[in-house]
Amino acid sequence: MSQKTIAWDRIMQLNRKAGKFRSDSELSTNCLRVMENIASRLDITLPKEIKRSYCKNCKTLYGNCRIRLRGGIVSVTCGNCGNIRRLPY
């Protein structure tokens, strides 16, 4: 197995664990940070579904967030830190 294949498996495993530990924010945040570190170290691009499932500012899964649709843009406001993420739709 190549190093990228092993890393990809580990990233998917960490993503599942972060979802399971949604109630424990510290553990979930730690999983997301490790996942980002692995991806950046080995130059792996995360899929959209994973990238858009958590706040890049505070590294928490979106659970308590506000979603607004206006003018072809989705604005997702994090419930923890208040960071706004704008995505086209």
Q: What are 5-27's pLDDT values in tens digits? A: 999 999 999 999 999 998 888 99
Provide the pairing of β-strand 65-70 with 73-78.
Answer: antiparallel
What pLDDT is attached to residue 10? 97
Q: Which amino acid is at 5?
A: T
Q: What is the pLDDT of residues 28-48, one digit of tens each?
A: 999 999 999 999 999 999 999
The 8-class DSSP code of residue 31 comes to H
Q: How many CA atoms lie within 13 A of 88 on its CB side?
A: 0
Of 8 and 63, the structure prediction assigns the larger pLDDT to 8
Q: Where does the pLDDT of residue 89 fall: very low under 50, low under 70, confident under 90, or very high at 90 and above? A: confident
Give the predicted TM-score (pTM) of the model: 0.85
What are the tokens at 62? Answer: 């979106």
Domain ranges for the chain = 3-88
Whether the per-residue pLDDT at 1 is higher than 90: the answer is no
Amino acid letter, 69: L
